Structure 1
Amino acid sequence: MLRDELVTRWAGFYDLLLADAAATVTAVQLAGDGDETAPVMSGTAAELMAAGEAAGAGTSPWAVIAPIRPEIQVVDVDRCADRVLQPLLDAADTVGASLAHLTESGTPNSVHLGVTLPSRAARREFTRRVSEIRAWAGETQTTVDLRSRLDGLRLPGSAPLKPGGGVCWPTDTDGRRITAIAAYRRLAEALNQPHVDAGEPLPSPAPMVWDDVDDTDAGELAVVSPRAYRAPTRMTREQFKTLTVSPRRGRRSHAALAGAWVLWRLGVRSWRAAARYYAIYPCFEKWRERDAHARSRGRNLEPGWVSWCQRHWQDIARRARAYRPETASLHEPKIAEALAEVNQWDDPDLVAAAVAVIRHRFSDGYGLTRPVGVRDLASWLGFSEETARRRLQGLAERGLLAVVKPHNRETAPHEATVWTLTTPAAAYRSSVSHDVTSPGGMSLTLHPCWVVLGQTARLVYTQLSPTPAPAATLSAQTGLPTGTRHHGLLRVLRTLCDQGLASRSGQGRATRWLLGPGGLDDAPATAAGRAARERVQSRVILDRDVWHARGRDVASRAVHRRARAKAMQRSRARRASTAQCVNQLALVHPANRAAARRDNTRGRSSQRWGVRLARSRGLPTREPPTLAGG
């Protein structure tokens, strides 16, 4: 039995702090050198502490653990008080909470923080803010723990329960130790304020996750994918900490660089998707300050002005897309072998599809087994999804691609069909050479000019040279029949002449063909091809926004956004068609428009002459019938 005459300095404080000061609890102490504890004796908290102080000459050799009042919400901070204590105090002050209890828990850099909350709404808000601070600091629920009302708390004056720890002692907000009387007055003042029962702690909100970004508006068509279309990625605490760190001067560029790479790894791709994060997260403070300074001087009103934040993101995106891992060289022999076979195929359209797949998917150094979607190929080459599906099927039939994992919309709705790159059989070789084995040849194959003119025109263009050549020679090199002005090689050559990409010399059997005066970038079809490819890319992005939308509300907004964008595309197409009717020579090179006018006039006059000849001979003509009067 404990002697009644033993009294502790903490007696009055325990009476006010504990849920039941007269309840019987057990004192424990460390057993040996480990973390195990052993019971010592039982009694009330005040009796146990008095006996401990008497046995230890004023310092108790054991710890007393007991439940505290339900009005007090306790946050147990373990080994991270230097980073999270002040934000926790600020959060408590924001919700109107009163500081009731603050002690050193004994472990270095650890505290017990107790507050009283004025309302249930304040309790919910404080719980949410504690979870945000925990995520910001990169801690776990073990190191920043909202304690339950049923959990026992180690009382002030208790000995440590971990090797190397110190005595549990109350402190002020600056970390200075205070007396038992000062701790009692602080607790009494907090309990005199309006407060509610803390009860069981509310469940912590889910860690911050990367949600889909709705960055497309109805007035502008996005041609750069706002995000990487893949399974949703959860933001880790370390990534959130990187974005929310407030760097000191001299380290702000490093913090912005680290934050931008976090966004890229989480799937952000376009500036319109990244802009909102540059506007709110502290790591980008340097570039926001520069933008504010530029706007204050009116530089944002200058034509072509680009913000510092946008420039920074575009630089990061450019570096990320150009990055190739060290293992990229291991796949080069296999890719070169496949391109050598593709170079001798007789189908220019399949050659272009093969080059697009290899360049955009298999040449990035991330392996030869990669997902390739139908819409990927459509956006690379600027044609419809149905055409892209036929092209992929053709590549599979010729043995360039082999299916490893087919798309399954039930089990993996966010993943496209996975293909592996193989070497096609030699049976598809021909006498045609496409010049796709070099980087320059691959770039030429994917030029936007061929979206309008076709890949057959590209094949003929690659065979032209500054030296004049007859049509028979070009026919043998391309595998096309010579034809006439309406089909075959001669039709393609006339199209290239209209674009300034080919020139004709001589007449009759002395006709020769050679490279034209213009370049691919100067051809009128290039602008039209680039616009057509952008229309396909914007349509693909809208479709993928709908498919990858998470949640009914996000999906509904994506569907309406796609409908508005497609209506805008149709309106633009009608206006472009009207403009083309006004100017029928819009896609003809300026140097050849006079000849084109003569050809068009000659064709119309020949047509009128044919109609007059048919009438004179009593032959039927393609004209509306004349109703005979009755």
Structure 2
Amino acid sequence: MPECSQGTCCPEDVSTITASHVAELQSTDAGSAPPRWSELYKLIVDFSVPGRALTKGADSTDGAQSLKPGNPIALIAEAEELGGGDAAHAVVARIRPDLLTVDLDGCADVMQSGVLDAAERVGAPLVYLAASGSPNSVHMVFAPATAWARTHLRSQIDEIRTWAGYDTRAVDVLTPARYLRLPGSASLKLGGEFCRPIDADGTPLSAAAAAARARAALVSINPSTRRDVGDTTPPASEKRLQPTNVGIDAATAAGIVRTSSEDASPAVVTDIAPRAWRRRKRFTYADWRILMSHPPVGTRSDRATEAAWRLWQSGIRDWSISGWYYRNCVVFEKFTGRDSTAPGSSRAHWESIATRARAHRPPLSSAERGVIDRVRERLCSWTDRPAQAIAMLAILEHRFTDGHGLTDRPIAVRDLMSWLNVASIGTAKALLDGLVEQRALAVATPYAQTAPREASRYSLVDPEVVLSQSYPEHDVTILCAPTPPPAPSPSPLTPTVGEPLSPLWGLLGADCWRVYSHLLASSTPLASAVLASEVDLPVGTRRYGCLRLLDALVDAQLVERTDRGRRTKWVALAGDAVRRAEEATGALVRLKALRTRINAERAAWHAETRTEHRRAQRVLRRLLDGLRERSPKRQLELEFEVGEEFSAASVATARPTVRTKRGRHMRPPGRPSGRGSP
């Protein structure tokens, strides 16, 4: 008998056992109660070859002595009966050839998490995990959905093993012909423990819990597994797919070469997000059945639309990723066939799905509408800072009015940057923090407590709740003291005038929007002093104050000046003046560059593999270098920093100034410079 290790065994040749003897060994006594391990064994063991009962060698070494072959279920029942509940010897058997078995010997603390992550990335669910009995050693069995997934998982395990510095004896990927010590078996080493199923965190599992985990994993890739273990109720996904005559054969399954959408991630990033920036949702077996199905003529459009919705639900948002599935999944063959005669048919079909999905907003309840209406009313009076008002309005429009609730909603700093055309991370962060301090938003889940790679979550605060919980300060009246005249209060903000969510104000500044919206709401032209007092700004000059903002608005062709001197008055241009100014000032170009950078940064941040992360970093570096070289103006530079309120810093760079260089020896003031001067 050759020497055997603790986890994997090589019993004697079974080729001499006849087929009738194997059938006899695989049949259990119908009158006896099934052992506790029978259900788990039926899910993972290959019964085409008999198992074997082994015990420790007589010389107390790692060698094992063969007792007898037989059905593994009967062998483990006999071993536990002899041991009074615990197996008196070990039982080994081959694992099903469609499963992938990994034996980690003495390196589970280093390798286990990496192997589990690699299996999740390729879509191979965990079927079986057990502590083998040796210190820091486990057995792992996975169920790859395709041949590509199996090959890719093996390569990933080899890469992790090489990185960790272990050999193939410590990290052993078993071939289908090798034997594994089954759960419940005694150890074959001195001082070893029984083989026990465990959870991923090391918690021991019962035989029933381990069987339930194995069944759930196998059902996720093959719904017919339910009937193999006695469950006659077909799964919900199978019942839903039966009327559609969707099938997948071996040839179709071999054509599936990718199991998740990140493998088709684009090499070129644009201002349109290629996917939803969250943890990716893996395609299930039912999804792949839809994508790789051959629908009959007459139902191809409906089936392609259903498959396109599956792509959207998985997080795909742009043609740069969805185009791969249209070209490689046979369910879209109707539209790919049209591309030869009518180019763009596939993309037009996808864009119709994406447009409908983006425009869809579930209806708000009456209570939610009431809260949002009260917040809109409060925007006109709760703050005198236009930057805060615009930020709150953007959050309302883009997050809390989408029909998905007013509580525990994710709002990232880069979301606010993209909505407001603000290039500074610090400015956007200060705006969010200011809204929390003003009790317009409440932090529901801080960033440190969210799932990995997710933003902080906020809830919209009802103004009525804030007013009911706030108490005015105690009023103390001092007798005989002269009462100062009340200071003139500035006019309230009008967030419904002047298109406050235009990307133009991210370039010119929020104070420019305040001046423009006030002029737009005025029925008559206003003088500089009157306008400055009503918007609570100093009159200033062309370098600061209200006149500086008016000068920037005139350059953007949003405001006209009438008369001169003390009779100067200002009037705002209505109509599509804001749209024309967006193009003239380069605000749209800057917004596109900003969103492109944000998408590139998020692609690197949300990368789930090292290869994807390196590719995203290269794209981001190339993108930033190219934008710096092609940027004709400073406001297009992505590292451009602005003040806390993004109010006026960009105005100074909207129109470049040229300074004349003077010579080394400058003339004193008041001295003539002609030839006749002394």
Instruction: Assess same fold via TM > 0.5.
Output: yes
Structure 1 counterpart of 2:426: 386
In 1, are the aligned partners of 2:219 and 2:226 still within 8 Å (CA)?
A: no
Deviations 1:490-539 (A, max 9, x none): 22222211221111111222222112376111126655111222222122
Residue 471 of structure 1, CA deviation: 2.3
Offset of residue 361 of structure 1? 1.0
Please give the secondary structure, in 2, of the residue aligned with 1:444. Answer: coil
Change (3 A) 1:241 1:505: same
1:48 matched to which residue of 2?
none
C-alpha deviation, 1:212, in angstroms: 2.5
| Paired residues for 1:110-509 under 5 Å | 139-143=223-227, 210-213=260-263, 215-217=265-267, 220-294=268-342, 300=343, 307-327=344-364, 329-344=366-381, 345-369=383-407, 370-383=409-422, 384-408=424-448, 412-423=451-462, 431-436=490-495, 438=496, 441=497, 444-465=499-520, 467-509=524-566
Supply the AA of the counterpart residue of 1:554: E
CA contact (8 A) 1:208 1:234 kept: no
Once the 2 structures are TM-superposed, how far is the Cα of residue 162 of structure 1 from its aligned partner?
A: 12
1:399-450 Cα deviation digits (max 9, x unpaired): 11111110127x72222111111146679996433322x5xx4x81111211
Separation (CA, whole Å) in 2 of partners of 1:16 and 1:292: 59
Deviation at 1:472, TM superposition (A): 3.2
CA distance in structure 2 between the aligned counterparts of 1:245 and 1:393, rounded to whole angstroms: 50
SS of match in other structure, 1:523: helix
Q: Percent identity?
A: 31
Q: 1:86: which partner in 2?
A: none
State the one-letter code of the partner of 1:551: T
Alignment gaps of 5+ in structure 2: 1-16, 32-69, 73-92, 99-145, 148-174, 179-214, 233-255, 473-487, 638-653, 674-678
Provide the TM-score with structure 1 as the length reference.
Answer: 0.58
What does the per-residue CA deviation read over 1:107-127, in whole Å, with 9 as the maximum and x for residues that have no partner? xxxxxxxxxxxxx8999xxxx
| Secondary structure of the corresponding residue to residue 503 of structure 1 | strand
With normalisation by structure 2, the TM-score equals 0.54
| Pairwise CA distance, 1:285 | 1.8
Q: CA deviation at 1:357?
A: 1.2
Count of matched residue pairs: 422
Relative to structure 1, the CA distance from residue 212 to residue 343 in structure 2 (aligned partners, 3 Å threshold; closer, same or farther) is farther
Whichever residue aligns with residue 544 of structure 1, its letter is R
Say if 1:136 and 1:242 are closer, same or farther in 2 by CA, change over 3 A. farther
Letter in 1 for 2:225: Q
- CA 1:162/1:339 → structure 2, altered by over 3 Å: closer, same or farther? closer
Q: Distance in 2 between matches of 1:251 and 1:500?
A: 55
Equivalent position amino acid for 1:396 in 2: V
Which of 497, 506, 510 aligns to 2:567? It is 510
Q: Partner of 2:621 in structure 1?
A: 563
State which structure, 1 or 2, has the greater radius of gyration over its C-alpha atoms.
1
- Answer whether contact 1:379 1:536 (CA < 8 A) is retained: yes
For residue 324 of structure 1, give the secondary structure of its aligned residue in structure 2.
coil
Deviation at 1:235, TM superposition (A): 2.2
Counterpart of 1:42? none
**Cα-Cα RMSD:** 4.6
SS at match of 1:491: helix
Residue 458 of structure 2: SS of its match in structure 1? Answer: strand
- Cα distance change, pair 539–262 in 1 and its aligned pair in 2 (3 A): same
CA distance in 2, matches of 1:357, 1:314: 26
**3-state SS of 2:327 partner:** helix
d(CA) in 1 for partners of 2:23, 2:581: 91
Is the Cα contact below 8 Å between 1:372 and 1:416 reproduced in 2?
A: yes
Is the Cα contact below 8 Å between 2:269 and 2:599 reproduced in 1? no
Alignment partner of 2:404: what SS?
Answer: coil
Give me the whole-angstrom Cα distance separating, in 1, the residues matched to 2:615 and 2:636: 33
Deviation at 1:475, TM superposition (A): 2.4
Point out where structure 1 has 5 or more consecutive residues left out of the alignment: 1-14, 30-64, 76-90, 93-119, 124-130, 146-160, 164-205, 295-299, 301-306, 581-595, 619-630
Q: Deviations for 1:350-394, whole angstroms, at most 9, x for unmatched residues? A: 111111111111110111120111111112112221111111111
Match among 584, 606, 614 for residue 669 of structure 2: 614
CA drift of 1:576 comes to: 4.6
Instruction: Give the drift of 1:312.
Output: 1.6
Q: What does the per-residue CA deviation read over 1:43-67, in whole Å, with 9 as the maximum and x for residues that have no partner?
A: xxxxxxxxxxxxxxxxxxxxxx999
Matched position secondary structure for 1:419: strand
For 2:605, the equivalent position in structure 1 comes to 547
